[in-house]
Chains A and B, each alone.
Chain A
Amino acid sequence: MNIIVCVKQVLDPEIPPAKFKIDPEAKQVIPPPGVPPVISLFDERAVEAACRLKDKHGGTITVLSLGPGKAADVVKHAVAMGADEGYILQDAAFEDLDSFGIAYVLGKAIQKIGGYDLVLCGRQSADWGNSQVGSILAEILGIPVITLAGDIEAVDNKLKVKRILKDGYEVLEAPMPSLVTVSNEIGLPRLPAGVRIMLAARKQVPVWTAQDIGAEPAQLDRANAHTEVTGLSVPTRKTECEIVTGDTPGQAAENLASKLAELL
């Protein structure tokens, strides 16, 4: 089974809100110094899903990441987890693309790679979370799409996918190739073994430019963007927290219960 996984490098979502700063003019987030970017949570789960399928059925995993020079780190992380090859898509023309632009670039790269049975994406990115690149990409590639997967199996040349619903799940069957977006319900990603980390560190991650993948300049022209961000703000939350105390934690709990009972 040949699987292509699209991964994104993002600002570490675990940073405390106090460290979260924006530039409202540029409508951008200012990365806090000393905090390295990470692979987007759901994309890491997509790599995990790919590794599980490879463990069972063999084949290859190719990872694609559209982003700056540092994006090689997330590709190497995926290789450490079990991916075979990885490419960075990087070009001045790829900066600040909207979801359509990103899907277009990924689509061009996927067509260049070719020969795939399954394309995996995270359900949404941990930063802008536009939650649509996977579905647009499937439309561009002309293949079926299943979103919010909590489990993916390959049975008799078909994909059997558990799609997570608010109150349960549905089981869907799709032909190959298809595109599936992965949710965290798939389970925790594996910790790469030391040998694989060393292998990944030495891995060459080729960079593909717009010309390498045959991307048309008109498709990357910001003037043709489908959406643009016109404002970015940090919502203000002011809550005075009353710390309830007591001689012992148990006493504090009793005091808290009495206070709450009055309010409710």
Chain B
Amino acid sequence: MDNKGVLVCGEIAEGKLAPITIELLGAGRKLANELGEELSALLMGSQAGGLGKEAIAYGADKVYVAEDSLLDNYNSDAYTQVAANLCSKVLPSIMLLGHTDAGCDLAPRLNGRLGGGLAMDCLALSVDSAKLLISTRPVFGGNAHASMVSKSARPQMATIRPKVVPPAERDDSRKGEVIPVEGKIDPSALKVKVVDRIKEEVEGVKLEDAEVVVSGGRGIGSAQNFEMLRELAGVLGGAVGATRPACDEGWAPMTLQIGQTGKVVSPKLYIAVALSGAIQHVAGCLGSKYIVAINKDKEATIFSVAHFGIVADYKEVLPALTAKFKELLAA
């Protein structure tokens, strides 16, 4: 096998290295050190060149920059073309991407083109004695963890879930090389056109940043009843979340979906209201410091991951809980 080294596919957000890029560089540096090989990074977009030095400070030995305004926003066809071309020149042994809007699309497609071996949504990465990448990822909705290996397919690819690996430490004295990616993007290969990109603004605290999350499930029963959760979240300066079934019913906007395929949150306090605790949902809140369950079914799975619980109809609990918190916080 001629493939060597670790290549990180970075992301740029608002002109800076996105947090996931620094996490990928941290994970990539560790793997490269264990293998005794180089860590390189690919940055795409017209601002990529200016960020090369920063990627070096965060651990990259080489930074490939593809400066093209066609790459300023994620475009599946353009990103796949540039990344695939670079991979066929650099021949990395390992390639890391973020499990993000862009990475979730790019990684499987790139893998299809390169014929590598890909593990998605990884929680941990390591190398074994044969220098093979071992990727650990949740399967069966989070009920189990699987480790995956690619014996011969290259590159060995993984997407890493945001906020699970420690970010790289910055060291501005590090030396490295910034290399422009040659060649223009072939416009005839851009088959899918991005017509519009809409950011849905959420009122109040952002779910991912909230220190308190009040989350509702199927048991809430209606969109109107979610108002009670909003009141409690409001008093605590927190945000409202919901399970997939509650979002599917249209009781809460899809952007508030917490779980395996929604958002992953790790607040100080997670109040799970009238939700059974399906593993797919719990996968999105297990990192919370305290989980509180309010459910009338004492057998509900949510009690098995909660620190505190009340077994009662939430409608009889929430008003008193909101009022008491209001009183305590005013004191």
Residues of A that sit less than 8 Å from B by CB: 11, 13-14, 16-17, 20, 22, 27, 29, 98-100, 103, 123-124, 126-132, 134-140, 144-148, 150, 160, 164-175, 178, 183-185, 187-188, 224-235, 237, 239-245, 248-254, 256-261, 263-264
Query: CB of B93 within 8 A of chain A?
Result: no
Instruction: State the CA gap A92–B92 with chains docked (Å).
Output: 35
- Whether the pair A139, B113 counts as a contact (CB closer than 8 A) is yes
A-chain residues with CB within 8 Å of residue B278 when the two chains form the complex: 13-14
7 contacts between A and B (CB under 8 A): A13-B279, A16-B301, A166-B101, A173-B192, A185-B254, A228-B151, A233-B145
A-chain residues with CB within 8 Å of residue B1 when the two chains form the complex: none
- A102 to chain B minimum Cβ distance, whole angstroms, is 12
Q: Which of B76, B111, B255 sits near A146, CB closer than 8 Å?
A: B76
Known: A168-B200, A239-B306. A230 touches B147 (CB 8 A): yes
- Whether the pair B261, A264 counts as a contact (CB closer than 8 A) is no
Q: Which of A20, A123, A127, A227 sits near B153, CB closer than 8 Å?
A: A227
**Nearest CB in chain A to that of B132: its residue:** A230
- A108 to chain B minimum Cβ distance, whole angstroms, is 15
Task: Classify the interface of chain B: helix, strand, loop or mixed.
Answer: mixed
Query: CB of B149 within 8 A of chain A?
Result: yes
Instruction: State the CA gap A261–B324 with chains docked (Å).
Output: 10
- B1 to chain A minimum Cβ distance, whole angstroms, is 14
Instruction: State the CA gap A27–B147 with chains docked (Å).
Output: 10
Q: A254-B320, A258-B324 are in contact. List 12 more A-B contacts (CB 8 A).
A: A150-B254, A173-B192, A228-B151, A234-B143, A237-B305, A241-B306, A245-B310, A248-B316, A250-B316, A253-B320, A256-B321, A261-B325
Q: Which of A135, A224, A235, A260 sits near B108, CB closer than 8 Å?
A: A135
Instruction: State the CA gap A171–B105 with chains docked (Å).
Output: 15
Query: Number of B interface residues, CB 8 Å?
Result: 87
Known: A29-B144, A228-B151, A234-B144. A250 touches B261 (CB 8 A): no
- Whether the pair B118, A227 counts as a contact (CB closer than 8 A) is yes
- B303 to chain A minimum Cβ distance, whole angstroms, is 5
A-chain residues with CB within 8 Å of residue B105 when the two chains form the complex: 135, 147-148
Query: Which of the 9-residue segments B23-31, B37-45, B134-142, B163-171 touches chain A?
Result: B134-142
A-chain residues with CB within 8 Å of residue B113 when the two chains form the complex: 139
Residues of B that sit less than 8 Å from A by CB: 76-77, 100-101, 104-105, 107-109, 111-113, 115-121, 134, 138-141, 143-153, 191-200, 244, 247-249, 254-255, 260-261, 263, 268-269, 278-280, 286, 290-293, 298, 301, 303-313, 316-321, 324-325, 328-329
- B313 to chain A minimum Cβ distance, whole angstroms, is 7
- Whether the pair A145, B141 counts as a contact (CB closer than 8 A) is no
- Whether the pair B198, A168 counts as a contact (CB closer than 8 A) is yes
A-chain residues with CB within 8 Å of residue B286 when the two chains form the complex: 237
**Nearest CB in chain B to that of A126: its residue:** B141
- Whether the pair A184, B244 counts as a contact (CB closer than 8 A) is yes
- A107 to chain B minimum Cβ distance, whole angstroms, is 10
- B110 to chain A minimum Cβ distance, whole angstroms, is 9
Instruction: State the CA gap A150–B138 with chains docked (Å).
Output: 24
Q: Which of A20, A166, A245 sits near B263, CB closer than 8 Å?
A: A166
- B66 to chain A minimum Cβ distance, whole angstroms, is 21
Q: Which of A126, A228, A258 sits near B149, CB closer than 8 Å?
A: A228
- B20 to chain A minimum Cβ distance, whole angstroms, is 11
- Whether the pair A241, B303 counts as a contact (CB closer than 8 A) is yes
Instruction: State the CA gap A191–B150 with chains docked (Å).
Output: 41
- Whether the pair B328, A173 counts as a contact (CB closer than 8 A) is no
- Whether the pair A174, B118 counts as a contact (CB closer than 8 A) is no
Q: Which of A132, A136, A235, A239 sits near B145, CB closer than 8 Å?
A: A235
**Nearest CB in chain B to that of A187: its residue:** B248
B-chain residues with CB within 8 Å of residue A164 when the two chains form the complex: 254
A-chain residues with CB within 8 Å of residue B308 when the two chains form the complex: 241-244, 256, 259-260
